Amino acid sequence: MSTCKAFVLAVILALCAGISSGQCPAKCTCTGTDVSCRKQQLTTIPLSLPDATELYLSYNMLASLPDDAFKGLSNLEILNLDNNRLRNISRATFRGLIKLKSLFLYTNELESIDDGVFEGVPNIVNLFLNDNRLRILSQATFRGLIKLQFLVLNKNRLRSLDDGVFEGVPNLTDLMLVMSGLRNISRAAFRGLTNLQYLDLSVNELQSIVDGVFEGLPNLNFL
């Protein structure tokens, strides 16, 4: 089979496997298995979302997300919720998204995240929480994210990091905490991060760092 014929066949198969125009929600566009509802001034998540692999809801006016907000989207791999007005995420918001790999929540108004929110999404690799108003991270905030590798927490209002706050993410390789208002880091804050390679704590308000805070980080090569 020629390269040209193979390409045409691949396109046809992709279109056949995609979302039909009748399934695509109003105010959204659907391409293949991707659904984009960007910049539509949405205050609620569209009803009857098709079973997409990528969903883009950025630049809307979403202030909250209900429990089981994405029910039925078991094949979703990328969820983009950046640039909304989200203030809190409840424990059951992402329940059922067992294939989710990348979650974008940056540039919202998040002040807190309920403990256990991420327990139902164990396959997340990339998590973006930058440009929010987070003040507290508990030992249970990231519980269940055993495959997480890339975590961005820049530009929040954390003030401090308590012991064991990242113990739930043992495979983390990159952690960014730039401009997070940090004044204090407890000695065991990074406990368990044996795979961490990149740690950025620049532009914070740290006056001193406790001895031994970076012990137990054998693979760290950028600080």
Residue ranges covered by each domain of the chain: 28-124, 134-223
Per-residue pLDDT averaged across 30-48, rounded?
94
> How far, in Å, are 70, 123, 192 from residue 82 at the CA level?
16, 20, 29
pLDDT of 8 over the 50 cut: no
Using CA atoms, how far apart are residues 183 and 37, in angstroms rounded to an integer?
Answer: 39
**Common-topology check for domains 28-124 and 134-223:** yes
Model confidence band, residue 128 (pLDDT cutoffs 50, 70, 90)? very high
pTM metric for this prediction = 0.88
**Domain 28-124, second-level architecture:** Alpha-Beta Horseshoe (3.80)
Model confidence band, residue 23 (pLDDT cutoffs 50, 70, 90)? confident
* Nearest C-alpha neighbor of 219 from the set 200, 193, 190: 193
What is the pLDDT at residue 19? 62
> How long a stretch of residues is the chain?
223
Model confidence band, residue 11 (pLDDT cutoffs 50, 70, 90)? very low
Per-residue pLDDT averaged across 73-97, rounded?
95
CATH of 134-223, one of 3.90.700.10, 3.30.360.10, 3.40.50.720, 3.80.10.10: 3.80.10.10
pLDDT in tens, 182-198: 999 999 999 999 999 99
Contact between 26 and 48 under an 8 Å Cβ cutoff? The reply is no
More confident: 6 or 100: 100
